[in-house]
Homo-oligomer: A and B are copies of this chain.
């Protein structure tokens, strides 16, 4: 790839100029008063972005995967039962993690491209009258398939069943890009990373924890130390950290939150929808199907596009990178080779989106896919010209 071109992977996103500068810090003493100007506003800001007033924010040096592990190990004990769906690469990996931690996972299989099967979950939870299920896992946005699921609906199902299980939600590729309501949805552990909606380099696992999850720490018997909520909750209030924090990324997160809030969370979501809809218009013009089967579950951060029969999606990704220096997301797991993905999260302008669409057209034509040259671009242009949103505005710096 060429570093001059934007990336069109579903994270890490292109990093806004001002956030790169916020991350690129000289060393400060993390036990000095300077760090106390960074951590508290970050924690408060994360809570606002997660829309939780009663929960706490915790930030680990690590990736979103570390956030998954923190959710499990701080609240559960070996042999505990969890309910999860396998409907994409990332939901599948989380199930694998549960198993490696000695948890018993009740897996609901769903088609890759469908949303989390709320109805089946509802039935299972209603049937679990003895409340053996200790936790429910939900992937808010399946990055592998470009599918957004209905976490509010999942909460409603849990409430309807009167089920006391904890609710853990992977919001890695949704939080700060699409609406996420931790308190409203009764999410007990919400998980994201620095490299998606927060537009930073990877390196931070950003976690929201409900009071119920905090209470569960007391009885959880899975071993933990690095990802232990307790040390964080004990030390953070005085701007302390149980080990060396990643100061530059935290400073970047402070700046990212300020940037998001200057624009306004709703405006950020509307902008993501606007850019995404232009991309989807292009895909429709190409005549290619979405991997996501239901329009109401289309993701505003990533679009997975089904390749025509006989065309290897991964060959497309490799060709686009090699010949044009542009990176798209490959298909993963059950849809490897069958789809390619256009990531469109973070601070992307219309011009950048068109660049990604135009380059995809070249690569598809090179591979013999019969799309009309410029057709996707023209469709997206038409949409962007008439949309009331101006994505470029926010990047005026």
Binding site for B on A (CB under 8 A): 1-7, 9, 11-17, 20-21, 23-34, 37, 60-66, 68-69, 73, 78, 96-97, 100-102, 193, 195, 201-203, 222-228, 242-249, 321-327, 330, 347-352, 354-356, 358-359, 361-362, 365-366, 372-375, 377-378, 381-382, 384-385, 390, 392-393, 395-397
Contact = CB atoms under 8 A, between A and B. Distances in A.
A344 B397 CA distance: 22
B202 A245 contact: yes
A64 B29 contact: no
A329 to B, nearest CB: 8
Copies of the polypeptide in the assembly: 4
Contact of A351 (B25, B73, B359): B359
Nearest to A97: B225
Closest A-B pairs by Cβ, 5 of them = A325-B392, A374-B374, A374-B378, A29-B327, A355-B355
26 contacts: A2-B351, A3-B25, A3-B28, A3-B34, A3-B395, A4-B348, A4-B395, A7-B28, A9-B31, A12-B27, A29-B321, A29-B327, A33-B322, A61-B63, A62-B62, A62-B66, A69-B225, A73-B223, A202-B244, A202-B247, A223-B223, A325-B351, A354-B359, A366-B385, A372-B378, A374-B381
Contact of A247 (B201, B228, B366, B373): B201
Given A3-B28, A9-B29, A393 B325 contact: yes
B362 A385 contact: yes
Given A37-B397, A373-B374, 20 more contacts: A2-B392, A7-B27, A12-B247, A17-B26, A25-B201, A32-B321, A61-B61, A69-B225, A203-B203, A223-B223, A324-B349, A324-B350, A325-B390, A325-B393, A351-B358, A361-B381, A362-B381, A373-B377, A374-B375, A374-B377
Contacts of A222: 223
Contacts of A226: 62-63, 65-66, 68-69, 227
A341 to B, nearest CB: 11
B361 A358 contact: no
Nearest to A13: B27
A16 to B, nearest CB: 7
A137 to B, nearest CB: 14
A396 B2 contact: yes
Given A100-B224, A225-B69, A324-B350, A384 B362 contact: yes
